[in-house]
Amino acid sequence: MSFDLKKPISIGSDHAGYAYKQFLADWLRSEGYVVRDNGTHSMDSVDYPDFAHPVAEQVESGEAAFGILICGSANGVAITANKHAGVRASICWLDELAALARAHNDANVLCIPARFVSQDLALQMMKTFMTAAFEGGRHQNRVNKISC
Residue 1 in this model has a pLDDT that exceeds 70: no
Beta strands across the sheet bearing 109-113: 35-37, 9-13, 67-71, 109-113, 89-91
Say if 69 falls within a structural domain.
Answer: yes
Domains in the chain, number: 1
Q: Is 80 helix (H, G, I), strand (E, B) or coil?
A: helix
Say if 8 falls within a structural domain.
Answer: no
Say if 2 falls within a structural domain.
Answer: no
Say if 68 falls within a structural domain.
Answer: yes
- Residue 71 a catalytic site member: yes
Largest interatomic CA distance in the chain:
45
Say if 38 falls within a structural domain.
Answer: yes
The verdict on whether omega for the bond into residue 40 sits within 30 degrees of 0, i.e. cis, is: yes
- Per-chain mean pLDDT for the chain: 96
- Residue 92 a catalytic site member: no
User: Residue 22 belongs to a domain with what CATH number?
Assistant: 3.40.1400.10
CA distance 105 to 99: 10
Residue 140 — pLDDT band, cuts 50, 70, 90?
Answer: confident
Instruction: Please state the rounded mean pLDDT for residues 119-127.
Output: 98
Say if 141 falls within a structural domain.
Answer: no
Of the residues 15, 53, 71, 111, only one is catalytic, namely: 71
Residue-range definition of the domain harbouring residue 123: 13-136
CA distance 125 to 102: 11
